[in-house]
C-alpha cells in the first residue's frame, strides 16, 4: 500500500462480518469454513449486529467494555416502551421487550465462564461514572473520558496478573 508520501506501509488484512439477525447463521457458517482452513489471522476485525457476535467468537480473544458495575442487570422493558419505539412493527416491539434483558443478562453470565479456548477481557468502571446516558455537559463528558483512560490502565495491570486462556479476565 502506498501512502501520499510514496512510502510503503505494511499491508493490513481485515475481516468484516455483516449483521442481519438470523441471517447471521450463514455468516457463522462461512467463519466455520475459514476456521477449518486455517484462515484466522486478520489485523482488523469488524462486525455489525449479529456479525459482531460471530466475529468476536471467531477471534477467540475478546475484549468487552462495559459501562455498568458488575452487579448491573437489565430489568424487563415495559411493553409500552416497545410499542413507542417500534409503532409500525408490533412483533419486533414484543420480542424486544420480552427478551432484551434476558439476552443481555445471559451474555454477562457467559462472560464469567467463557467456552474453553476463549479468552475474554472485561473492562468495567471501578467507581461511579460522572455521566449518565443523556449527559450533555462537556466537563462531565471529559471527566468520564479521563476516568475511562485511567481505569483502563489500572485494570490492565490487574488483568495481566490473572491467568490466561480459557478463563474470564474480569
What mean pLDDT do residues 26-49 have?
Answer: 83
Instruction: Please enumerate, as own/partner, the contacts of 38-41 that have beta carbons within 8 Å and a separation of 24 or more.
Output: 41/13
pLDDT, one tens digit per residue, over 145-166 is 999 999 988 888 877 776 655 4
How would you class 54 by CB atoms within 10 Å of its CB: exposed for 0-12, middle for 13-18, buried for 19 or more? Answer: buried
Confidence check: pLDDT of 101 > 90: no
pLDDT at residue 143, rounded to an integer = 92
pLDDT, one tens digit per residue, over 105-142 is 888 888 888 878 777 878 888 888 999 888 899 999 99
Residues near 100 by beta carbon (within 8 Å), at least 6 away in sequence: 74, 77
Average pLDDT of the chain to the nearest whole number: 80
pLDDT at residue 170, rounded to an integer = 52
Strands, DSSP E only, in 18-110?
44-47, 61-65
Query: What are the angstrom distances between the C-alpha of 87 and each of 90, 98, 132?
Result: 6, 16, 27
* Separation of alpha carbons 104 and 81, rounded Å: 17
> For cell 420480552, what's the residue?
98
Residue 21 φ/ψ region, left for φ over 0, alpha for ψ in the -120 to 50 degree band, beta for the rest: left
Amino acid at each position: 500500500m502506498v501512502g501520499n508520501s510514496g512510502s510503503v506501509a505494511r499491508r493490513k488484512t481485515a475481516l468484516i462480518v455483516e449483521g442481519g439477525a438470523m441471517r447471521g447463521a450463514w455468516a457463522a457458517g462461512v467463519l466455520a469454513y475459514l476456521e477449518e482452513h486455517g484462515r484466522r489471522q486478520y489485523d482488523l476485525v469488524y462486525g455489525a449486529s449479529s456479525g459482531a457476535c460471530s466475529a468476536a467468537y471467531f477471534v477467540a480473544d475478546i475484549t468487552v467494555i462495559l459501562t455498568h458495575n458488575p452487579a448491573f442487570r437489565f430489568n424487563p422493558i415495559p411493553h409500552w416502551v416497545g410499542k413507542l419505539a417500534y409503532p409500525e412493527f408490533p412483533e419486533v416491539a414484543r420480542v424486544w421487550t420480552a427478551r432484551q434483558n434476558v439476552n443481555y443478562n445471559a451474555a454477562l453470565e457467559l462472560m464469567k465462564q467463557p467456552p474453553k479456548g476463549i479468552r475474554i477481557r472485561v473492562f468495567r468502571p471501578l467507581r461511579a461514572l460522572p455521566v449518565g446516558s443523556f449527559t450533555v455537559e462537556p466537563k462531565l463528558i471529559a471527566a468520564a473520558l479521563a476516568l475511562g483512560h485511567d481505569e483502563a490502565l489500572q485494570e490492565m495491570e490487574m488483568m495481566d496478573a490473572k491467568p490466561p486462556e480459557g478463563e474470564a479476565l474480569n
